[in-house]
């Protein structure tokens, strides 16, 4: 059961990890003078938020009997369909909102304020990225439901959530690792990474949403027809 529970969260974890603007936020703070602590605070609050939201959904789903005799309850499949459809809608909106790569996209207003962001504000921003950004919130909700449907033991559920949090935080770990391991050349690498992620943000989000939506809708249809 532990292996099955962990297998359920892998796609969600990768989807959350590839959050371009969250990674860009960390990069901007690392490049800014004396803001490395804010970048670490952002990453810590991000991981904590993923843990709390996914665990809360897991507990609620467990209480609603998400696992029925070792198989997902019918309402779980319905939730997967709803989340999958919302992800498709988000993917279409992101794709249609692309600039086509013809011009350098303008940085959001909040991004231009990160050069002077405090540790507390950086942590608060990370919470908003998890709890308010549609992609991250939908994927984190999906984790809680997906783990609950397996019917694993508490240890198995905790392990699955832990794997999700580690995977979901790995995207932020890339610029942090560059900052630590490449103290001299790291700034140039981070600036290049920031520019690419801002430019390709919409495309990355659209593709990820479609991939995870396909998994959710496929799982739901299989469960409903068995």
Asked whether residue 24 carries a pLDDT value surpassing 80, the answer given is yes
pLDDT band at 84 (very low <50, low <70, confident <90, very high): very high
Domain ranges of the chain: 2-225
Per-residue confidence band for 109, with pLDDT thresholds at 50, 70 and 90: low
Rounded to 5°, angle at Cα 116 from 107 and 104: 15
Query: Stretch 160-164: mean pLDDT, rounded?
Result: 95
pLDDT reported for residue 70: 63
DSSP assignment, residue 103? S
pLDDT confidence band for 37 (50 / 70 / 90): very high
Q: What is the mean pLDDT of residues 18-44?
A: 90
Beta strand pairing call for 71-72 and 67-68: antiparallel
**Do the beta carbons of residue 46 and residue 22 sit within 8 Å?**
yes
* pLDDT at residue 139, rounded to an integer: 93
d(Cα 14, Cα 142) in Å, to the nearest integer?
Answer: 13
* pLDDT, mean over the chain: 87
Report pLDDT for 13.
Answer: 93
SS3 109: coil
For residue 106, pLDDT over 70 is answered with: no
Residue range 211-221: mean pLDDT, rounded: 90
Distance CA 208, CA 151 (A): 27
Is 80 exceeded by the pLDDT of residue 71?
no
Distance CA 11, CA 54 (A): 14
Specify the long-range contacts of residues 134-139, CB closer than 8 Å, at least 24 apart. 134/86, 134/90, 135/15, 135/16, 135/19, 135/87, 135/90, 135/205, 135/208, 135/209, 136/16, 136/19, 136/22, 137/53, 138/83, 138/86, 138/87, 138/90, 139/12, 139/15, 139/16, 139/212
Predicted confidence band of residue 199 (pLDDT cuts 50, 70, 90): confident
Secondary structure element (H or E) that encloses residue 96, with its range: helix 74-96
Residue 225: pLDDT above 90?
no
Return the SS3 of 9.
Answer: helix
Can you give the pLDDT at residue 90? 93
The structure's pTM equals 0.87
Contacts by residues 116-121 (CB-CB < 8 Å, ≥ 24 positions apart): 116/32, 116/35, 117/29, 117/35, 117/38, 118/38, 119/37, 119/38, 119/41, 120/41, 121/38
């Amino acid at each position: 059961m532990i292996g099955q529970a962990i297998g359920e969260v892998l796609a969600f974890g990768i989807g959350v990890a590839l959050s371009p603007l969250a990674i860009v936020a960390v990069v901007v703070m690392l490049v800014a003078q004396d803001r490395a602590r804010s970048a670490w605070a952002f990453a810590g609050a991000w991981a904590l938020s993923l843990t709390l939201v996914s665990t809360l959904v897991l507990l609620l789903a467990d209480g609603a009997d998400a696992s029925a005799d070792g198989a997902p309850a019918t309402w779980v499949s319905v939730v997967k369909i709803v989340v999958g459809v919302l992800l498709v809608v988000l993917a279409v909106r992101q794709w249609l909102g692309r600039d086509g790569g013809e011009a350098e996209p303008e940085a959001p207003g909040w991004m231009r304020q990160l050069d002077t962001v405090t540790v507390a504000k950086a942590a608060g921003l990370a919470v908003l990225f998890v709890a308010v950004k549609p992609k991250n919130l939908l994927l984190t909700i999906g984790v809680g439901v997906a783990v609950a449907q397996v019917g694993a033991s508490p240890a198995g559920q905790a392990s699955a959530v832990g794997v999700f949090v580690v995977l979901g935080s790995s995207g932020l770990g890339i610029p942090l690792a560059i900052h630590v391991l490449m103290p001299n050349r790291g700034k140039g690498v981070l600036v290049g990474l920031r520019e690419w992620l801002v430019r390709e943000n919409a495309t990355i989000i659209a593709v990820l949403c479609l991939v995870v939506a396909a998994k959710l809708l496929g799982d739901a249809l299989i469960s409903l027809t068995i």
